[in-house]
Structure 1
Amino acid sequence: MDTQGNDMKTVLITGTSSGIGLATAVAAARAGMRVIATMRDTGKAGPLRHAAAAAGVADRVEVLRLDVVDPASVSSCVAEAIDRHGRLDAVVNNAGAGRVGTIEIGGTDEVRSTMEVNFFGVVEVTRATLPQLRASRGRLITVTSVGGVVGQPFNEAYCAAKFAVEGFMESLAPVVATFGVDVTVVEPGAVASEFVTSAVPDLPALVNTAGPYAPALQAYVDRTRKSFGTAQTADEAAASIIEALTAEKPAFRIQTSDWARGFVGTKLTDLDGSAVQSLTDAWVR
């Protein structure tokens, strides 16, 4: 996606109040793009505005409200972006929420709410922006996760949603390619951000209410804490999204680190599933 000259490209990014979304908004502006930075609560835009100002790109970052689970909010935001700039050249589906737990304890309502944010939110934003992306022969980039390829213990709802997103985008990609629209899924591994805190705000309470699953959950929690001790930064993950935005022809699937490539690679070469099961079994023992 050419961002040179007077034809400044416009990219809409969801979930920009923190983490990967914030880092991507600033990085895209630094790469010469006009950024429509969206978030559910614009009262939380302070860190983004500060980071954009520090990077010298505050004039390229506009904050709009968008709640991915509210179709009216999505439509209103997209309409306002088009009214202001006349076009969208790229969309980054980044908004999402983690969920740690297991079905017997958490119940189906937790699964439904997780799917609503992580899957149906992506579907709604995609549906609303595709007319503009078709017109601009633009790019549709979605942040999934290594959990969209490899199912992980106590992440049943989250991984189910991310699996669904990957299947949706893999199916959509050849359809919209007939209009010149490129589709990419970006798969981070562990990233040091507020996402982890939002997924499990009170780990001790979660373990205490896990009943017979408590020992396995505690083992998972201990292992996860160690993995996030070596997590990549949000800026490092955002670099892969910028790669997808600026490459002459972006790949459909991009991992954000060597660890993520190795982890996803285990699944993609594991025809009978034994390698993945052997790997994740160790996480809960």
Structure 2
Amino acid sequence: MVKISDRLKTAASLVSEGVVLADVGTDHGYVPIYLLEQKKIRCAIAMDINKGPLERAKEHIHLYGMDAYIQTRLSDGVAALQMGEADSILVAGMGGGLVMHILEEGKAVCQAADELILQPQSELSGVRDYLAKNGYMIDAERMVFEDGKYYPMMRVHYQTGKNKNTDITEKDAALKNAGNCERQDQNRYKVECLYGRHLLMEKNPILHQYLQKEHKVFETILDNLLKQPESEKITARIGEVKESLGYNEAALAYYKA
């Protein structure tokens, strides 16, 4: 039985039953092997942009006797994946900028899939904002704490035939339009992009832990800044930290409701 990290195991838990999986950036190929051992997926396509990781994945696939169920492909993002070839696309362990690049460059293929499992390592707010503005709906979110790091992840799907603002409710779509909504609604949209609507609504305990730690960090930074000699740069930085602290406190308020 293959052993995988809690981060990857949680991401794998978001994959639906009985799908054909495309694992983008497969590295060692452990996630598709794990899911096949669990009899959760039918088969998989393990993809990576680099030959080295792909060779390691091939070795592991053979070692676990999965050659008939997992094929490997050298691919930049989903470039080597055909339209409709995979029901579920997993993109895990990459920076948020790269995740958005893969979604944008492989737009047609990603939109054709039933679901995408995304685990960006950075730029979470940017990724969630990109999804909202490009017709994707977030179905579920998870968060794990492992080896001193926090890992949020999500399952999303593209809403066929919808315009870029109808992937969420009409009220939430309005939140994205800064010219037509009030400050309170803008703040709510920003908070949910930063921390995840599902995680907040479900009062996820790992997110709560993260928010509490982040709050202390922001308070310490602000306290140190207020002790500095006044300058235009310091004043601007104080404003930035206060804004971030405000978003953090708005997120913490979900846990008090």
TM-score by length of 1: 0.44
Which is richer in helix?
Answer: 1
**Who wins on radius of gyration, i.e. which is larger?**
2
Relative contact order, higher structure (CA 8 A, sep 6+): 1
Which is richer in strand?
Answer: 2
TM-score by length of 2: 0.48
